[in-house]
């Protein structure tokens, strides 16, 4: 196994859904594959907006064929309507990835900020600046949702990839070693 991983980072939102694909591995320079934002207008019914988001995510999954999807974990803010829209958009992202059998990881905003900047309380400008530096870009991705999506993908490669290898090793160590063990279990 080479360890090279392609991750689709998704910064969920009902109006702007940041999408970023990064490829690489721990200890090596990472490469930006693509970045953009799926936009929906608040004049449309929520169901139609969610269908637009679903189609956009599916198109990205088809085009970029990621090994994993990293989605920002929804956290409570003061505005309930913002939380609801973000949670609905996040759910669409989870369903799109799960439908394809892709591993999905949820990373908190503070975890992502800490991973890319070393500071779990970094502001959007600091995150954008570090994403620019890590991916060797000429300018920070705009809008901030795009930079956040790339930060999620970077975080997953740096942290999630290692965790996935640990989880796989643990799962392999728990597998039954003989058919007689399986037979005994199936009778129980």
Question: Annotated active-site positions, please?
Answer: 11, 72, 145
CA dist., res. 156 & res. 181, Å (int): 36
Q: Phi and psi dihedrals of 175, rounded to 5?
A: -65, 140
Cis amide bond preceding 143, omega within 30: yes
Residue 111, classified by CB atoms within 10 Å of its CB into exposed (0-12), middle (13-18) or buried (19+), is: middle
Report whether 145 belongs to an annotated binding site: yes
Answer yes or no: are the C-beta atoms of 30 and 23 closer than 8 Å: yes
- 72 marked as binding residue: yes
Reduced to 3 states, what is the DSSP secondary structure of residue 38? Answer: strand
Residue 58 assigned ligand-binding role: no
Please state, in angstroms and rounded to a whole number, the distance separating the CA atoms of residues 59 and 148: 20
First to last CA, the chain: 38
Numbered residues of the known binding site? 11, 72, 145
Feature table: binding site for Mg(2+): 11, 72, 145
């Amino acid at each position: 196994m080479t360890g090279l991983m392609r991750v689709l980072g998704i910064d969920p939102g009902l109006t702007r859904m940041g999408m970023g694909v990064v490829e690489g591995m721990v200890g090596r320079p990472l490469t930006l594959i693509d970045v953009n934002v799926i936009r929906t207008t608040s004049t449309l019914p929520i169901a139609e907006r969610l269908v637009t988001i679903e189609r956009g995510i599916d198109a990205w999954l088809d085009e970029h064929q990621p090994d994993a999807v990293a989605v920002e974990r929804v956290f409570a803010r003061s505005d309930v309507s913002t939380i609801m829209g973000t949670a609905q958009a996040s759910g669409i992202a989870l369903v799109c990835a799960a439908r394809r059998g892709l591993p999905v990881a949820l990373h908190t905003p503070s975890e992502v900020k800490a991973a890319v900047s070393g500071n779990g309380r970094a502001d959007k400008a600091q995150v954008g600046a570090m994403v620019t530096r890590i991916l060797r870009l000429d300018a920070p991705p705009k809008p901030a949702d795009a930079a956040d999506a790339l930060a999620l993908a970077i975080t997953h490669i740096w942290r999630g990839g290692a965790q996935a290898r640990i989880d796989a090793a643990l799962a392999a160590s728990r597998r039954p070693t003989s058919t007689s063990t399986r037979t005994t279990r199936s009778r129980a």
